[in-house]
Chain A
Amino acid sequence: MKFTLPIILVVGTAVLMVLALLGAGQPRGTVGIAAGPAVYTPKASTPEQAVKNLLTDVQRRNWDRAFAAVSKSSATDKQSFIQDWTGSNGSLRSFSALEGFDSRPLHITDNDAQRRVRLHWTTPVGPIEDVRDLHLVHEGDVWRALWPKVQIPNVPAQVIPVTYLRWDLVTGGANDEWGAKNVDSPHVRITSMNAVDSPEGAVVMGEVVNEDTVPAFVNVNATLLDGAGSAIDDESSFDKIDHILLPKQVTPYRIDFPNISLKNVKSVRMDEKATLVPASADPVIGVMNQKIEADMQGKSVLHGDLLNQSGQTVNISHVIVSFYDNNAKVVWVADGYVDRALLPQSSEPFAVEIPRSVASKVQNFHVVVDHYSLGRS
């Protein structure tokens, strides 16, 4: 009798351990949708397993095994394949890590298959989701991915003269006479503001212009007020704005108020803050071939190409777009990061998604590009 309880505990623990082992690597989800990370199975007998193997190895940066899961008939080489995943030239991708993935089947035959893969990246600017359609082929008794060659711009050696203006800031010292070296803050103005409800909460958005002749570091804050004039919440535009505005430059801004409905809001108090900062008019980034199209998932997406017209590498580009209705009212502001570096005189594609609720209202749009270059503030 005195051995009964220990025996029950030991047997119960063993059963739970076996159940746990059997359950691992089989996450719950929709049938046909695979999600990572997963248990590695050496032989990819299904397209789903081939994708899992490939992406698990990419996550672990096990490049030899990951590249072994790529079909030999792919138009890529190992170095390009690795660079596709790890990024280069200090791009956003080179600071990112593949946190997870899920894939779903699009098409399958005996010899080839196509799966849509949703990649979840962790990046310095927050989580980013990337969607890719992978083409897989049946080679012998295993499935392998056909990997396209990534076109990395080949910039020829050249000298690009840059004569654009740069603003430096000289500030007074503590020993200066009072009022002798005052330099006013730049004048910025909110030219439009619109408040809407979205599924995530209230959103305040619009555009702000630097009316001055000097560069400005701009931040826009909004406070939601109730009927009694009390503040419900206050938030800032954070990264949904191009903070450094050159003279006469216009930027969209968006301020999110999660879990707040506009029906409780009586008024909105806006407050723009501008500080004089050093800046450079270089680089100039053109936004070419902008077009709103439906993507492979049926969502409205603004596509285009960023063209770096200067002679320096832009490591991280941030695209911010204001969308207007037919009355030129800002109905939405969206943004997106480009995960590849913009090399001098070369272009990279970008895409910014438009929510379904506003896609039908959009008549026009304005794109601005914020940029970050390593070694420059």
Chain B
Amino acid sequence: MRRIFLICAGLCVAGFPMLAQDLRVPASVTAGDDATISTTGSGKATFYLLGPGVSRKSDVKLGEEIHLQGQELRNAGDYLALVCSDPCHSGTFYVVAAKPAKLTFLVHPSRVPVGRSDALSGVAFPFDQFHNLDLTPVTVNFQLTVGNKALFTRPVRTQNGVAWFRTASGKSAGVVQVTASVDDLTARRAVQQVASEPCNLRITGQRIPIGILVQTEPVHDCAGNVVPDGTIVTFSATEASGKSTVDAPVKQGVARAQITAKGETVISVASGVVMGNELRVGAKQ
């Protein structure tokens, strides 16, 4: 019983100065803005500010306002303010990101075959001038354009600081500009739309003094896009004496190969996993 009495007496003695001084912190502060913390009471005290990437200690007078400069409040997050004058009093406040000043924009993939559904995606993150992710919902306008023609426009509201889209690739090979904009902020990326698998691969051939010259017709995908130069086309020539193959790259839309075959020859063509027509060439006269 005596012990409980002593504990209660101690708490009362300790609590008396708390009534004499107090600390009022702002409910919310915008990153980079100045702020003030008001105190009550009298006498000298030590002020501590602890936050993301900042810690400060200074002497203050109780009863006066403590000025926090915007420089100290650049990083968004929870801050702890402490005033110590036997005992210490504390308050917490939150610094929110300022208005978006920069848009980080990721687009995937950098190359995409034409005519693929849900093949293209982009994600945008608005950041303020102090590189804080802006968690306040804002509307991001996504746009895909080819030349001056807009293929796709979609406004998306950010959730937890992120906005994204997903869409199909177009039908024409070429560079697609992808933009994300918030008010006057714009980020641009380029996506290369490339021809899909070759379609209707066809070859023609003729005898030449050193064998057979065989070439493809212009190699297109099924949407009519010319496959990129350098695409490998494999020619296989089979005759009675054996087989010959040449991996030839497409040059200006056409792949060509010389095959040293003398007898009656059957020539087939393939590019990747796509097969083309067969060609029969008679024996050398």
Contact = CB atoms under 8 A, between A and B. Distances in A.
A126 to B, nearest CB: 25
Interface string A153-178: 00000000001110100000000011
A87 interface: no
Interface string B86-120: 00000000000000000011111111000000000
Interface in B31-58: none
Contact of A287 (B106, B230, B244): B244
B255 to A, nearest CB: 10
Interface in A291-346: 291, 304, 307, 309
B241 interface: yes
Given A213-B231, A309-B258, A281 B249 contact: yes
A250 B270 CA distance: 10
A290 B109 contact: no
A183 B192 CA distance: 10
A179 B272 CA distance: 31
A290 B243 contact: yes
Contacts of A291: 241-243
B107 A179 contact: yes
A368 interface: yes
B247 A368 contact: yes
A284 interface: yes
B115 to A, nearest CB: 14
Interface residues of B, number: 37
B246 A286 contact: yes
Contact of B228 (A191, A213, A290, A307): A213
Contacts of B248: 284
Interface in A232-263: 246-250
Interface string B226-260: 01111111100000011111111101000001111
A211 interface: yes
Interface centre among A164, A179, A214, A291 (most CB of B within 10 A): A179
A214 B110 CA distance: 12
Nearest to B232: A249
A286 B232 contact: no
**Most A CB atoms within 10 A — which of B110, B241, B251, B272?**
B272
B228 A289 contact: no
B169 interface: no
A184 B230 contact: no
A247 to B, nearest CB: 4
A304 B260 CA distance: 12
B163 interface: no
The secondary structure that dominates the B interface is strand
Nearest to A189: B273
Contacts of A250: 234, 272-273
A164 B104 contact: no
Contacts of A368: 247
Given A163-B251, A165-B251, A248-B271, A287 B245 contact: yes
A249 B251 CA distance: 15
Given A179-B104, A209-B272, A246-B249, A286 B242 contact: no
Contacts of B229: 165, 281
Given A184-B110, A309-B258, A281 B230 contact: yes
A358 interface: no
A180 interface: yes
Contacts of A287: 244-246
Given A184-B110, A288-B259, A246 B243 contact: no
A210, A214, A369 pick with most chain B CB within 10 angstroms = A214
A367 B2 CA distance: 98
B182 to A, nearest CB: 16
A247 B234 contact: no
A248 B231 contact: yes
B194 interface: yes
- The 10 A-B residue pairs with the shortest CB-CB distance, nearest first, are A248-B272, A291-B242, A281-B249, A165-B230, A179-B106, A286-B246, A249-B232, A288-B244, A290-B243, A213-B194
Given A284-B248, A288-B259, A290-B245, 5 more contacts: A248-B198, A250-B272, A284-B249, A286-B259, A309-B258
21 contacts: A178-B106, A179-B107, A182-B106, A182-B108, A183-B111, A184-B111, A191-B273, A246-B247, A248-B271, A249-B272, A284-B246, A284-B247, A284-B248, A285-B247, A286-B257, A286-B260, A287-B245, A288-B244, A289-B260, A291-B241, A365-B243
Interface of B: 104-111, 189, 194-195, 198, 227-234, 241-249, 251, 257-260, 271-273
Interface of A: 163-165, 167, 177-180, 182-184, 191, 209-215, 246-250, 281, 284-291, 304, 307, 309, 365-369
